[in-house]
Amino acid sequence: MAKQDTWTKKDLTGIEELTRAEIELLFRQADRFLPALAPGKGLDLMKGRTVVNLFLEPSTRTRTAFEISAKKLGAEVVSINTTASSLVKGETLRDTALNIRAMGVDAIVMRHSSAGAARYLGEVLDISVVNAGDGAHEHPTQALLDAFTLRQRFGKVAGLKVTILGDILFSRVARSNILCLSKLGAEVTLAGPATLVPAALKEAFPQVRLAHDLKSALRDCDAVMLLRIQHERQTTTHFPSLGEYTSQFGLNAERASWLKPKAIVMHPGPINRGVEVESEVADGPRSVILEQVRNGVAVRMAVLHLCTKALSR
Amino acid sequence: MNPADPSPLWIRGARVLDPASGRDEAKGDVFVRDGVFVERLTAAEQAKARVQDGKGLVVAPGFVDLNCRLGEPGRTARETVRTGTRAAAAGGFTTVVTMPDSLPAADNVGTIQLLREICARDAAVRVLPTGTLTKGHEGKALAPIGSLKKAGVVAVTDATSGVQNNEIMRRALEYAAMFDLVVLDHCQDSSMTEGGQMHEGAWSLRLGLRGLPRTAEEIVASSDCLLAELTKARIHLQHLSSAGSAEIVRRAKARGLPVTAEVSGLHLLLADSALKDYDTRLKLNPPLREEADRAALVAALVDGTLDAVCSDHSPCTATEKDCEFDQAPFGAASLETTFSAAYEAVVLSGAADLALLVARLTAGPAKALGLAAGTLRVGAAADLVLLDPKAKWIPSAKTLFSKSGNNPLAGRALTGRAVATFVGGHQVHGA
């Protein structure tokens, strides 16, 4: 695979739009930013630039990680969350974005409940747009930090077997991870109840394997990615109750013992302890959850740096 | 409607296609006097007639659309009777049946009268209103169907709200049949489509959009057929979108049930993969489905399972569609491009010849609703269209007559178009 030296995209709207070479280029950039994560080690690559975090759906972790990433690069950061946003007053997304743009901003990081919203914004604006989650579509920086963590642990992603367990149907993290891991040469298994892991996923993503039996999904994987089970969906028809979910698919110590000795446990957070994962596993030796969080800053620094640099070129 | 032109009309040397009468001539003439088709004109009349040279063109009955919206009353930012009927004329349609989900809804005599007054003043083509089947198309209590009939509706329907209650549908069918009114149904079980944005399948999964499953349509198509069997009443299934629905209608017709059905030009032409870039103009209800469905709809149109091609013209403003996909309204503006879309999907594809497509745009829909339209027969109202099947054109928001901004075929190279349209012998479109 030829090495790519330059990043040409002003936006990161999804993994779908990235090539393997671009993902690897971004990882090399994130490698170089890792030392800057130490306290007192900020950089000034984005000095004088302004990043707006436009979060139209609740988020603490992702928004904070983007804020810290931008600040570590020396940028100014303004965060707008859903209650403060004028969108609740009926302004269109185009108008909100054009207003922010008119104030002289370099990049907008957006989380939005509508699938496709980031791509739409990227077409509307001539500044950088970074997708921090669009509906059930994509959450590209989460997938990038997950793959980056796997690469750190195992040396490379190609050839790894990764099981994604939980609410695949509604998960943007799952979609971005399926695309990212496949592009990097990993084998992906999707596991969970049949209502959340429907057979049609195989048509949408022919490269994946589906499993409704936990043991077969865990037995020979190198990593299991747990997805948060969302309380708000408990009342829908997709599974009977959180308790039922836990009894069938929750990762406890006994089930974790089915994993290979070196297999790791990942989670994008926030964790529902005792629902999709028990504390013993979440805090245990297999867990890389806090490494994921830390790598998330380096990866997002790389995204912000590369996209805004591509724009000024 | 404008009064008929006083001078006779002579369409000379065109291919003549009139499926209703079986007339299909490679080169023939069509004559009009006093707003109706006549056998021939006298030499004196010929001398003063308006002559349209039909060389290289096809003369056909004006198209009949069973499913459109013209924005009035209440949605005039999207469309008006003036702009919508000019769009219809440009698309070759001379009779259009409007859906009753206006603001206010056409569930009362006053609204029907208002619409008819607006049409008398502004319409370029014949506009036939429908009334709602239930009050406010809420599916709870029957609308005053008998009074609506008296006010001039040609059918009753709850439009895209559909009818979710089988008991109400049964009684509506029985009641409407008493007035010889056909019930039109948008087949959809809404309990299965909540939050749905596009066809449920591989593409909805990839795009992270909630799906409207085929089954939601097919369940209601089935129950409608069963209720038609029970009540013996006429039902017409609107804009069907799936292979399964077509098969259900095929079987119902084979059993002799009084069921007819239609498909939109866009559903004949496009599949769900066209939504890969979240083009809100292609957000339709029912949604564009898979390629196999599209192909099955074309086949069902050809074998007569589907009686009519409709426009399903649902105008929206450009602003309404310029937003996040799940916040955009459903519907496409399509009166001006329905013929071209269907021509590409049915005729250019080799599935059938132009005569069949013209039948599904004229005699088919006219018969489904029992309308006196869609033929060149002597004595019939002189509603006709001159088609240039070879014309290449690219629609654009600037040149389309519709006030709306949501024609998804704008910018696409199309083949075949209406070059002149006449209603009652009066020219309403073309030079």
Question: Which pLDDT does position B2 carry in this prediction?
Answer: 47
Catalytic-residue membership of B312: yes
The domains found in chain A, sorted by start residue, are 20-139+293-312 (3.40.50.1370), 140-288 (3.40.50.1370)
Complete edge-to-edge strand list for the sheet that includes strand A187-191:
A209-211, A187-191, A161-165, A223-226, A264-266
Three-state secondary-structure class, residue A107: strand
Question: Which pLDDT does position A232 carry in this prediction?
Answer: 60
Amino acid, single-letter form, for residue A35 = P
Boundaries of every domain in chain B: 9-58+382-429, 62-369
Residues of A in CB contact (< 8 Å) with B are 92-94, 112-117, 119-120, 134-138, 169, 172, 175, 198, 200-201, 203-205
Contact: B206, A119; criterion CB under 8 Å: no
Question: Which pLDDT does position A230 carry in this prediction?
Answer: 73
Question: Which pLDDT does position A3 carry in this prediction?
Answer: 72
* Structural domain B62-369, CATH architecture: Alpha-Beta Barrel (3.20)
Residue from A85, A111, A203 whose CB has the most chain B CBs within 10 Å, to mutate:
A203
CB A177 within 8 A of CB A146: yes
Instruction: Decide if B9-58+382-429 and B62-369 have a common fold.
Output: no
Residues of B in CB contact (< 8 Å) with A are 197, 200-203, 205-210, 277-278, 319, 322-327
CB B418 within 8 A of CB B386: yes
B204: nearest CA in chain A? A204
CB A263 within 8 A of CB A288: no
A135: nearest CA in chain B? B208
Question: Which pLDDT does position A234 carry in this prediction?
Answer: 45
The C-alpha atoms of residue A225 and residue A127 are separated, in whole angstroms, by 33
CB A122 within 8 A of CB A129: yes
Does the pTM of the predicted model rise above 0.90? Answer: yes
Which ipTM value was assigned to this complex?
Answer: 0.93
pLDDT in tens, B349-385: 999 999 999 999 999 999 999 999 999 999 999 999 9
Question: Which pLDDT does position A236 carry in this prediction?
Answer: 64
pLDDT in tens, B148-191: 999 999 999 999 988 999 999 999 999 999 999 999 999 999 99
> Among residues A88, A9, A105, A11, which one has the least CA distance to residue A52?
A105
Residue from B200, B210, B278 whose CB has the most chain A CBs within 10 Å, to mutate:
B278
Q: Does the pLDDT value for residue A86 go beyond 90?
A: no
Cβ neighbours of residue B164 closer than 8 Å, sequence gap 6 or more: B139, B189, B190, B191
The C-alpha atoms of residue B129 and residue B127 are separated, in whole angstroms, by 6
Among A116, A175, A200, whose Cβ lies nearest the Cβ of B202? A200
Q: Say if domain B9-58+382-429 classifies as CATH 2.60.40.730.
A: no
Amino acid, single-letter form, for residue B312 = D
Task: Name the token pair of B120.
Answer: 């008398």
Question: Which pLDDT does position B204 carry in this prediction?
Answer: 97
Alpha helices in B280-353 (DSSP H): 291-302, 318-321, 338-342
